[in-house]
Structure 1
Amino acid sequence: MAEFYEFFAGGGMARAGLGAGWTCLFANDFDHKKGLTYQANWGTGGELTVGDVKQVTAASLPGVADLVWGSFPCQDLSLAGGGAGLRGERSGTFYPFWNVIRALVADDRAPRLIALENVCGTLTSHGGKDFEAICQTFADAGYRCGALVINAALFLPQSRPRLFVVGVHADVNVDPALLAPGPIEPFHTRGLQSAVERLPAALRETMLWWNMPTPNRRNSTFASMIEENPTSVSWHTPAETQQLLAMMSPINLAKVNAAKRAGHRMVGGVYKRTRLNEKGVKVQRAEIRFDDMSGCLRTPAGGSSRQVIVVIDGAKVGSRLISARETARLMGLGDDYKLPRNYNEAYHLTGDGVAVPVVRHLAHHILEPLLGMAEAAERAAA
């Protein structure tokens, strides 16, 4: 049994992915509404502290954690953000988070592993300087680290590439089988390779290339995630569906017409985006995809970021907002996971989270072997 601290915990999706072999000693999130959902699903055992990470001290953390997990805010690092990067108010919480790590190291309670998760925009933010700052921070604290880009689409019907940086303390012996001599796709993307190549030579030499197997081919589909009778949203009226179709370009309407001829039910995901029309005028367009994949769930800062689904069965066309439960399913959460009753709160919770099966895969193939958990389990079973 391994023990961990969970920072920027949200609804506890990293905890769900780590699974029963892990014990959470401490969890923290700034959002009290997410905190209520965390407690609704994980109980009120006292490990959750709701409040600013700047107020967390090493003295307030119990025990010695094997792992510290941190899915720090992405807004300032994402392509949709303002480009503030690690200097931004939200993504800049990385530094007070790392102050806690630094205090744990000084207190002789350095975690053996540290795992960070964020958007892939981290690799290019400020010309790669933010990624360099993260890697340098690991090195300065006595950790070697390696990065992977994992797309949730390998496990779930949602396009959701995310950057994971896993650091291992210098005191931990690393099995050579967990390392590759160089980058291997799909987890070491060209973008990641370029980011590592931009690092200063001395820092680049400390970087690791984690050798993680690809998962089995997923068998879930976008259509399999859809609720027949959702309670959190209502189906659009025929007039509202027609209005949505009227916002589509000829290419997107052609996709709809092709789906009508498919001979089976088709589910498409729609996002509304501002585009230039043929006259160079900005107009709002409804763009649809029928590749059996959901678009990346995002926090609902406005109506355009809420995904609409279109269900086509022959000539019948229906549309509505994606339901709260559907967003949870697309993150790998079971139907027994308790969601907020408010739709926007539920969408915000899931859109801000980390995909559960991605965490499980990373834990099974990298984190647990580094801690010797697999060997311990085998000895216990013998």
Structure 2
Amino acid sequence: MPHSYYDFFAGGGMAGFGLGSDWQCLFANDIDAKKAASYRVNHGGGKELLLKDVAQVTADEIPGTADLVWASFPCQDLSLAGKGAGLAGKRSGMFKPFWQLVCDLTDEGRGPKMVAVENVYGAITSNGGRDFHTLAASFADLGYRFGAVVVDAVHFLPQSRPRFFIIGIRGDLRLPESCLQAAPSPVWHPPALVEGHNLLSAEAKERWVWWNLPVPASRESTLAELIEEDPKGVTWHSKAETAYLLSLMTDLNRKKVEAAKQLGTRKVGTVYRRTRPDADGVKRQRAEVRFDDIAGCLRTPSGGSSRQTIMVVEGRSVRSRLLSPREAMALMGLPESFILPERYNDAYKLAGDGVAVPVVRHLAQGIFEPVLKRNRLALVA
């Protein structure tokens, strides 16, 4: 019998790809019609998906009882690029109606065995740590044993994408020893998270656990091997466009390009345009390049500066173009069979808002599935 889950803020259903075929989605929810269309076409029609504002969803619209509730709630008000509204913001504030549904299900005797909430790293420190305190208190007040980890997709994919996960297990369930450790790990528990834990209430600390995850093997995939020579949805820039991009670079970044030329081999880098103050304090658009075989974090396309550019250097030749939709999906760990939205911006937004597939699989293997196995064995015993 497959494990069951609900997928809130489901987007294209990337969490489901990460959980895998041993998991069955009983209910999914999103408010974005374009994302819902992608979910349905990539999840066998997606009859389980309810296209509706989560604040308008009621518990009686949610069937059965789930082993896991997954929620990648909006990050805009919690991210470093946001305006600091935090959980009081219009978008990230959607955590509150989502959590009310978890409370309602619990009141009906349908409380999920596990709840996993995903967001940006900034969720730990936003509003001076008060938002993290609110998230922790939500789990503690419902009687969940819970803890948090920060997992960077770079362990599995050539993309720098650190994400915060807070994972709770219902209080009546047993926790496998393999999932726990006595103290924080530098791999999964950075100083900001340790400090956040130190500031929690006594009640929250009482229910806190330090999750233990296996350290993954060294990543084998590289950025260069994901880059298409003949991409669909984008075209290579003209020489003038590439020259303009180079003109936006500081001396430091131009030196990186020159160093790549000296190698005489194919070198793939990524470029983001950012607004930076110059020596006189005047803000100017700058192009910043990296050649460490890791893409920058995919973001939603709220303007040209947020779209990632590919730069390919081969000897004296320098070419550039936008990251293609298929490349963006590959950087999220989705299979080539994933059906892309037709419009570039829709595809890029879907990727930028998503959760990296192998990260979800790692959490499933390290925590979700061992917890379910431990408690099924307990029932048999």
Give TM-score scaled by structure 1 length: 0.97
Distance 1:166 1:45 in 2: 26
Q: Quick one: which amino acid aligns to residue 135 of structure 1?
A: A
Q: What's the CA shift string for 1:349-372, capped at 9, x where partnerless? A: 000000000000000111100110
**Which residue of structure 2 lines up, in the alignment, with residue 53 of structure 1?**
54
Give yes or no for the alignment of 1:123 onto 2:124: yes
Mapping of residues 229-378 of structure 1, within 5 Å: 229-372=230-373
The verdict on how the C-alpha distance between 1:6 and 1:373 changes in structure 2, with shifts beyond 3 A counting, is farther
**Which residue of structure 2 lines up, in the alignment, with residue 6 of structure 1?**
7
Distance 2:295 2:266 in 1: 16
**Is 1:368–1:374's contact at 8 Å kept on the other side of the alignment?**
no
Q: Quick one: which amino acid aligns to residue 222 of structure 2?
A: T
**Which of structure 1's runs of 4+ aligned residues deviate more than 6 A?**
373-376
**Which residue of structure 2 lines up, in the alignment, with residue 20 of structure 1?**
21
State the number of aligned residues: 377
**Which residue of structure 2 lines up, in the alignment, with residue 81 of structure 1?**
82
- TM-superposed CA distance for 1:258, in Å, is 0.3
- TM-superposed CA distance for 1:263, in Å, is 2.8
**Which residue of structure 1 lines up, in the alignment, with residue 134 of structure 2?**
133
Q: Quick one: which amino acid aligns to residue 202 of structure 1?
A: E
- TM-superposed CA distance for 1:154, in Å, is 0.5
**Which residue of structure 1 lines up, in the alignment, with residue 147 of structure 2?**
146
Give the SS at the match of 1:205.
Answer: helix
**Is 2:140–2:203's contact at 8 Å kept on the other side of the alignment?**
no
Distance 1:107 1:303 in 2: 47
Q: Quick one: which amino acid aligns to residue 368 of structure 1?
A: E
**Is 1:3–1:24's contact at 8 Å kept on the other side of the alignment?**
yes
**Is 1:178–1:212's contact at 8 Å kept on the other side of the alignment?**
yes
- TM-superposed CA distance for 1:177, in Å, is 2.1
**Which residue of structure 2 lines up, in the alignment, with residue 182 of structure 1?**
183
**Which residue of structure 1 lines up, in the alignment, with residue 98 of structure 2?**
97
- TM-superposed CA distance for 1:146, in Å, is 0.5
Give the SS at the match of 1:184.
Answer: coil
Give the SS at the match of 2:181.
Answer: coil
Distance 2:49 2:66 in 1: 15
Distance 2:258 2:376 in 1: 55
**Which residue of structure 1 lines up, in the alignment, with residue 217 of structure 2?**
216
**Is 2:174–2:374's contact at 8 Å kept on the other side of the alignment?**
no
Distance 1:278 1:224 in 2: 38
Q: Quick one: which amino acid aligns to residue 191 of structure 1?
A: A
Q: Quick one: which amino acid aligns to residue 133 of structure 1?
A: T
- TM-superposed CA distance for 1:276, in Å, is 1.7
**Which residue of structure 2 lines up, in the alignment, with residue 114 of structure 1?**
115
- TM-superposed CA distance for 1:45, in Å, is 4.6
Give yes or no for the alignment of 1:198 onto 2:185: no
**Which residue of structure 1 lines up, in the alignment, with residue 45 of structure 2?**
44
Q: What's the CA shift string for 1:219-274, capped at 9, x where partnerless? A: 01111110110011010000100010011000000000000111321111100111
**Is 2:120–2:162's contact at 8 Å kept on the other side of the alignment?**
yes
Q: What's the CA shift string for 1:126-147, capped at 9, x where partnerless? A: 1101101011011111111100
Query: CA RMSD of the aligned region, Å?
Result: 1.3
Distance 1:305 1:266 in 2: 22
**Is 1:28–1:53's contact at 8 Å kept on the other side of the alignment?**
yes
**Which residue of structure 1 lines up, in the alignment, with residue 30 of structure 2?**
29
Give the SS at the match of 1:369.
Answer: helix
- TM-superposed CA distance for 1:56, in Å, is 1.2
Q: Quick one: which amino acid aligns to residue 345 of structure 2?
A: N
- TM-superposed CA distance for 1:275, in Å, is 1.2
- TM-superposed CA distance for 1:375, in Å, is 8.1
**Which residue of structure 1 lines up, in the alignment, with residue 66 of structure 2?**
65
Distance 1:144 1:8 in 2: 23
**Is 2:263–2:315's contact at 8 Å kept on the other side of the alignment?**
yes
Give TM-score scaled by structure 2 length: 0.97
**Is 2:40–2:47's contact at 8 Å kept on the other side of the alignment?**
no
The verdict on how the C-alpha distance between 1:372 and 1:220 changes in structure 2, with shifts beyond 3 A counting, is same
Distance 1:273 1:304 in 2: 6
Q: Quick one: which amino acid aligns to residue 301 of structure 1?
A: S
Give the SS at the match of 2:207.
Answer: coil
- 149-158 vs 197-206, which deviates more? 197-206
Distance 2:10 2:235 in 1: 30
The verdict on how the C-alpha distance between 1:338 and 1:374 changes in structure 2, with shifts beyond 3 A counting, is farther
Aligned-pair identity in percent equals 54
Distance 1:45 1:31 in 2: 14
- TM-superposed CA distance for 1:279, in Å, is 2.9
- 199-208 vs 293-302, which deviates more? 199-208
- TM-superposed CA distance for 1:278, in Å, is 2.6
Distance 2:280 2:151 in 1: 39
Distance 2:46 2:245 in 1: 47
